[in-house]
């Protein structure tokens, strides 16, 4: 398993599926779709697609430290994130901890309304705004990079019969790799599958998924998430502080040194 400053061993990807888990307990309409929380559905899909290659744990907002203590993150290769109505309740301390782990190599899959989560906005540096409409749009998810590993086994387009509309301008940095673009009944478009590299970490933003529609019961959608977990898995992490600026005397890289010359 990946170790700080070490290597993945190719055996098991440790995923922590994080969910705000507020709508499912508060709103009948959402509980009807996700009686055990949408994290349960996402986690089950990961196990279905990745089998023994993955181990899944869950974490939610209401847990101490939102379930994201330092030991949990140290044992997490990829974190998936879903939040919507309680972004402000996520503590700044946990946000910085998650960001630090991403920059050191932990993967992050940010889903749907996580575009406005503190963690995602902090990593993007932009406002992450967008247009939206909750009116039963049909979403078509097209690939502009069909050879990308995140498209493996995914029918294109993915047809999502009913879904919230997310439209441009989506205020993110230009993705390092743009994988999916969606269209909606109303004619809007959206960069719905976006890869970012930040520090040693890989981030995938995937917009399909809303608490009011059964999107995570769509097999093509969860296949994308499983592929993204694989793509985000770190091959190399570092325990070095994110803000380090080491002095480097002449010839510092000669002789014995570990990976990354540190």
User: Is residue 193 at the binding interface for a copy of itself, with CB under 8 A as the rule?
Assistant: no
- Tell me the CB-side half-sphere exposure of residue 164, using CA atoms within 13 A: 18
253 token code pair: 């890289």
CB distance 232 to 204 below 8 Å: yes
Q: Which stretch binds a copy of itself (CB under 8 A): 30-38, 42-50, 60-68, 183-191?
A: 183-191
Q: Which stretch binds a copy of itself (CB under 8 A): 38-46, 64-72, 184-192, 209-217?
A: 184-192
User: Is residue 246 at the binding interface for a copy of itself, with CB under 8 A as the rule?
Assistant: yes
Q: What distance in Å separates the CA atoms of residue 98 and residue 107, rounded to the nearest whole number? A: 10
Which segments of 105-137 does DSSP mark as H helices, in order? 118-124
CB of 241 to a copy of itself, least distance (A): 8
User: Is residue 125 at the binding interface for a copy of itself, with CB under 8 A as the rule?
Assistant: yes
User: Is residue 153 at the binding interface for a copy of itself, with CB under 8 A as the rule?
Assistant: yes
Q: Which stretch binds a copy of itself (CB under 8 A): 11-19, 88-96, 140-148, 209-217?
A: 140-148
Q: Closer CB to a copy of itself, residue 97 or residue 148?
A: 148
Q: What distance in Å separates the CA atoms of residue 11 and residue 225, rounded to the nearest whole number? A: 19
Q: Which stretch binds a copy of itself (CB under 8 A): 14-22, 88-96, 204-212, 245-253?
A: 245-253
Rule CB under 8 A: choose which of 35, 156, 217, 239 binds a copy of itself.
156
User: Is residue 219 at the binding interface for a copy of itself, with CB under 8 A as the rule?
Assistant: no
Rule CB under 8 A: choose which of 59, 202, 204, 222 binds a copy of itself.
202
**Longest CA–CA separation in the chain, Å:** 65
Q: Closer CB to a copy of itself, residue 40 or residue 124?
A: 124
User: Is residue 152 at the binding interface for a copy of itself, with CB under 8 A as the rule?
Assistant: yes
Site residues (CB under 8 A) for a copy of itself, limited to 15-74: none
Q: What distance in Å separates the CA atoms of residue 193 and residue 31, rounded to the nearest whole number? A: 27
User: Is residue 157 at the binding interface for a copy of itself, with CB under 8 A as the rule?
Assistant: yes
User: Is residue 89 at the binding interface for a copy of itself, with CB under 8 A as the rule?
Assistant: no
CB distance 89 to 66 below 8 Å: no
User: Is residue 101 at the binding interface for a copy of itself, with CB under 8 A as the rule?
Assistant: no
Distances (CA, A) of 72 to 12, 93, 127, 178: 16, 15, 29, 30
- Cα-trace Rg, the chain: 19
Please tell me what DSSP assigns to residue 144. S
115 token code pair: 């575009």
User: Is residue 132 at the binding interface for a copy of itself, with CB under 8 A as the rule?
Assistant: yes
Q: What distance in Å separates the CA atoms of residue 152 and residue 17, rounded to the nearest whole number? A: 21
21 token code pair: 């888990």
User: Is residue 207 at the binding interface for a copy of itself, with CB under 8 A as the rule?
Assistant: no
């Amino acid at each position: 398993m990946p170790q700080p400053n070490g290597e993945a061993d190719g055996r098991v990807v440790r995923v922590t599926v994080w969910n705000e888990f507020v709508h499912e307990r508060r709103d009948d309409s959402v509980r009807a779709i996700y009686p055990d929380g949408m994290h349960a559905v996402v986690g089950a899909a990961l196990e279905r697609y990745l089998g023994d290659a993955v181990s899944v744990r869950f974490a939610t907002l209401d847990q101490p430290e939102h379930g994201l203590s330092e030991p949990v993150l140290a044992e997490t290769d990829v974190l998936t994130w879903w939040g919507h109505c309680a972004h402000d309740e996520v503590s700044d301390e946990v946000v910085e901890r998650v960001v630090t782990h991403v920059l050191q190599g932990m993967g992050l899959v940010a889903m749907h309304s996580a575009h406005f989560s503190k963690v995602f906005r902090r990593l993007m540096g932009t406002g992450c705004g967008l247009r939206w409409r909750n009116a039963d749009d049909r979403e078509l998810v097209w690939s502009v990079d069909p050879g990308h590993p995140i498209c493996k086994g995914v029918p294109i387009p993915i047809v999502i019969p009913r879904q919230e509309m997310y439209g441009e301008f989506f205020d993110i940095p230009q993705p390092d790799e743009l994988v999916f673009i969606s269209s909606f009944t109303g004619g809007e478009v959206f960069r719905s599958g976006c890869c970012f590299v930040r520090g040693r970490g890989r981030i995938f933003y995937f917009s399909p998924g809303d608490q009011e529609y059964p999107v995570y019961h769509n097999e093509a959608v969860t296949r994308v998430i499983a592929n993204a977990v694989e793509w985000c898995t770190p091959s190399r992490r570092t325990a070095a502080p994110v803000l380090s600026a080491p002095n480097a005397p002449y010839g510092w890289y000669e002789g014995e040194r570990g990976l990354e010359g540190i």
